[in-house]
Structure 1
Amino acid sequence: MSTNEAAGVKLRPEIVAVAAYKQGRPAPADGFKLSSNENPFPPLPGVVDAVSAVLGDLNRYPNAGGLDLREKLAERHGVSAGQVHLGHGSVSLLAQLLSAAAGAGDEVVYAWRSFEAYPGLVTVTGATSVQVPNLPNGAHDLDAMAAAVTDRTRVVIVCTPNNPTGTIVTAAGFETFMAAVPPTLLVVLDEAYYEFVTDEASVDGIPLLGRYPNLVVLRTFSKAYGLAALRVGYAVGAEGVLDACRSAAIPLSVTDVGRAAALASIDAEEELMERVARIAMRRDELRAALLEQGWNVPEAQGNFVWLATGEHTAAISDAFFDAGLTVRAFDSEGIRISVGEAESVEKLLDVAGDIVRNLPNGHPAKRLG
């Protein structure tokens, strides 16, 4: 008998059955943490100063509506402040959208594998996940996702670049997809890694909002802006949809510390985007080197690369860890490796080269030929 049964506590069995979200493995001593897609650069001094300026008011509740930040984002994206909603990271905004749109008996469609929090978030609403397998190159199968929509579907989640495979949804592909799904269906475009994209064919969701009132775009300050510890994300979409989001939100979840840091980061955006460009260049160089070693690596457009290590995933993850590198292992599917400090790349490639040489011919992580 479990502790909960002994205490007489009745819990929803579908929630108990869902594995809780787990953070990436901590880095070994003197090693590199490449498991959480964090920005390897430290905060800018101006951002630290902005955070320090509000620490004296920790006894006060935050200005969680964040009108100043919403207005700044609205001006940037050519929308009204009512069309911008702040959240405790973009994942909390997705939870609000799902709660507002889906419940028991409903369905939520998304690609798989994609962001590992999606299944749990859907289950909490009482809805059912409909997972559509990715294409062999790790990209969304948008035709199959559109075909999976039924009269019970309430939300479709599109992740681009896809976490963890790194592949994008193209603008042309997304337009075809939107034409194929009902205009009453909520489509959430998760663009958490938008700033790292260098492929000009990629979809850019926010300019499409005028054409698609059923579209909501998610972005975050955690990745490109390096504010992962402060958890500030934002949604852009129709005001009526975001009003429902606000109704489903936990009150006061965006702190003044996070809001101040986000405002300061926007002011320092030129310097921050230079860092992003360096990470994207390092990513491309890393992928090219892995391909040269013999790995089969999908096109990478986030701040990470994906290795389809299959049944060897646990052993390969351990090999990286033993060499001082933590990576993100996904059961028997593959490994996601964040683009970290420049010093980590050489060590990573040394270990990866030894591993791929020992993979059997025909292994999905190994290039053909």
Structure 2
Amino acid sequence: MTDSAQPSPAVVRAHAKVGKLPPYAAGKPPVAVPGLAPYKLSSNENPFAPVPGVVERVHEIVAGVEGAPSLLCRYPDPLATELREKLAPHLDVPAEDIVTGAGSLGALSQIITAFAGEGEGTEPDEVIFAWRSFEAYPIVARSAGAKDVMVPLTADHRHDLPAMLDAITDRTRVILLCTPNNPTGPALTTAEVEDFLAKVPSHILVVIDEAYVEFIRDEDAVKGLEMYRKHRNVVVLRTFSKAHGLANLRVGYSVSHPEITSALRTVAVPFAVSTLAEQAAVASLEHLDEVLGHVQTVVDERVRVVAALQEAGWDVPETQANFVWLPLGDQTAAFAEAAQARALSVRAFAGEGVRVTMGEVEANDRFLEVARAFRS
């Protein structure tokens, strides 16, 4: 047989669902501009480093103390027992109702994997969420083989809960509520979520994603843990990435009832939360007053920035998070370029708007300069 007659080698192909996944676009770093300090406002990160007690604990884990060797050569506790036991009294929930994950995204992946997928019939299960919202939602849903059902936000950039109720079908398995909503900022209220949950069939899981809960100052905002206590089909998502400034260590968790947590632990990736991450989170809880002091500084900056934007004529949605949303539409790319020219990176959603995270005072002041110039 000649070389030309040789059969073509088989090509390894990814599953068809991979081609249907939207890419996750992480916030880009700023472009260097001579004479200007660069600032990254494109990712919802905390501008403050972890509190000193956390840094000390991390050093102990890495270096070892009092003759004890570093723990980096040992596997972590797969259940993150110490962290869960520290969280339990803090949240006033049983430790058994807490399941940790690699950030709240890791915890969410456990939920979708356990409760939604390709379906038992010919049609896939469905996961409902508002859009635009956290861009990982469709990625997680489709990765599990489920169908994502996007319900457009209202004109004031909030969840359209009546429309989400109308979107429920006999294939709906999970509903995601992001509050405050990323990237637009509004938080859901207790009254509207109570009304919503009263109308959602009890076999459907409702996830209340509270990644930014520490930044909320609206007394009417829904409290996810209260909903979890009243409704057995509610799961609450939290993270140490935002308020605690531990984004790089990837530690988050969910709170739900035992019939849910048992399934989550079954599908959880073993050892997802490292000892380093667990102990940093424990130390952060032990120094919570300092953490919340940093949070209040960010909130104060948010209030200042929003007021300045409104004074400059911007229509800024109400935000309870650590970021602001500028609904720019077809001017989105132009604004992002204007910010880049001033050594600022912002998170642009093509044709929709720009999300800008609260950063250092100088960074926020420069953002305001860009915003005022853009309006002139």
Q: Per the shorter chain, which TM-score range? A: over 0.9
Structure-2 separation of matches of 1:21 and 1:92 = 14
Q: Secondary structure at the match of 1:323?
A: coil
Structure-2 separation of matches of 1:257 and 1:64 = 13
**Paired AA for residue 51 in structure 2:** L
Mean Cα deviation higher: 129-138 or 53-62: 53-62
Determine the structure 2 residue equivalent to 1:88. Answer: 102
Determine the structure 2 residue equivalent to 1:186. Answer: 205
Q: Do the aligned residues in 2 keep the contact of 1:159 with 1:191 (CA within 8 Å)?
A: yes
- Offset of 1:27 from its aligned partner? 2.2
Structure 2 segments unaligned to the other structure (5+ residues): 1-7, 63-69, 119-123
Q: Do the aligned residues in 1 keep the contact of 2:22 with 2:138 (CA within 8 Å)?
A: no
Determine the structure 1 residue equivalent to 2:3. Answer: none
Residue 222 of structure 1 is aligned with which of 241, 244, 249? 241
Determine the structure 2 residue equivalent to 1:31. Answer: 38
1:234 to 2:248 alignment: no
Structure 1 segments unaligned to the other structure (5+ residues): 358-369
CA deviations over 1:19-71 (Å, ceiling 9, x no partner) = 32121011233211001011001122211110111111211111231111101
Q: Do the aligned residues in 2 keep the contact of 1:205 with 1:217 (CA within 8 Å)?
A: yes
Structure-2 separation of matches of 1:45 and 1:77 = 23
Q: 1:1-369 to 2 correspondence within 5 Å?
A: 8-29=11-32, 30-55=37-62, 56-104=70-118, 105-357=124-376
**Paired AA for residue 16 in structure 2:** P
Q: Secondary structure at the match of 1:229?
A: helix
Q: Do the aligned residues in 1 keep the contact of 2:133 with 2:178 (CA within 8 Å)?
A: yes
Mean Cα deviation higher: 335-344 or 26-35: 26-35
CA deviations over 1:235-275 (Å, ceiling 9, x no partner) = 11112201211111111110000001000000110011011
Structure-1 separation of matches of 2:171 and 2:293 = 45
Structure-2 separation of matches of 1:144 and 1:6 = 50
- Offset of 1:12 from its aligned partner? 2.1
CA deviations over 1:64-90 (Å, ceiling 9, x no partner) = 311111011112222211100111000
In structure 2, the CA distance between the partners of 1:6 and 1:160, relative to structure 1 (3 Å rule), is: farther
In structure 2, the CA distance between the partners of 1:7 and 1:90, relative to structure 1 (3 Å rule), is: farther
Structure-2 separation of matches of 1:54 and 1:34 = 31
**Paired AA for residue 147 in structure 2:** T
User: Between Structure 1 and Structure 2, whose CA radius of gyration is higher?
Assistant: 2
- Offset of 1:118 from its aligned partner? 0.4
Structure-1 separation of matches of 2:354 and 2:245 = 23
Determine the structure 2 residue equivalent to 1:367. Answer: none
In structure 2, the CA distance between the partners of 1:6 and 1:307, relative to structure 1 (3 Å rule), is: farther
CA deviations over 1:206-249 (Å, ceiling 9, x no partner) = 12222100000000000001101101101111122012111111
**Paired AA for residue 246 in structure 2:** L
Identity of aligned residues (%): 46
**Paired AA for residue 133 in structure 1:** P
Q: Do the aligned residues in 2 keep the contact of 1:284 with 1:300 (CA within 8 Å)?
A: no
Structure-2 separation of matches of 1:6 and 1:220 = 46
Q: Do the aligned residues in 2 keep the contact of 1:64 with 1:256 (CA within 8 Å)?
A: no
Structure 1 segments of 4+ aligned residues over 4 angstroms from their partners: none
**Paired AA for residue 103 in structure 2:** G
Q: Secondary structure at the match of 2:247?
A: coil
CA deviations over 1:83-121 (Å, ceiling 9, x no partner) = 001110001111110010111111000000000000111
Determine the structure 1 residue equivalent to 2:65. Answer: none
Q: Do the aligned residues in 2 keep the contact of 1:112 with 1:134 (CA within 8 Å)?
A: yes
CA deviations over 1:266-311 (Å, ceiling 9, x no partner) = 0110011011111111101101111111111100100000011111
Q: Do the aligned residues in 1 keep the contact of 2:21 with 2:143 (CA within 8 Å)?
A: no
Q: TM-score, normalised by structure 2?
A: 0.92
Structure-2 separation of matches of 1:45 and 1:271 = 9
Aligned length: 353
In structure 2, the CA distance between the partners of 1:125 and 1:351, relative to structure 1 (3 Å rule), is: same
In structure 2, the CA distance between the partners of 1:8 and 1:304, relative to structure 1 (3 Å rule), is: same
- Offset of 1:7 from its aligned partner? 6.2
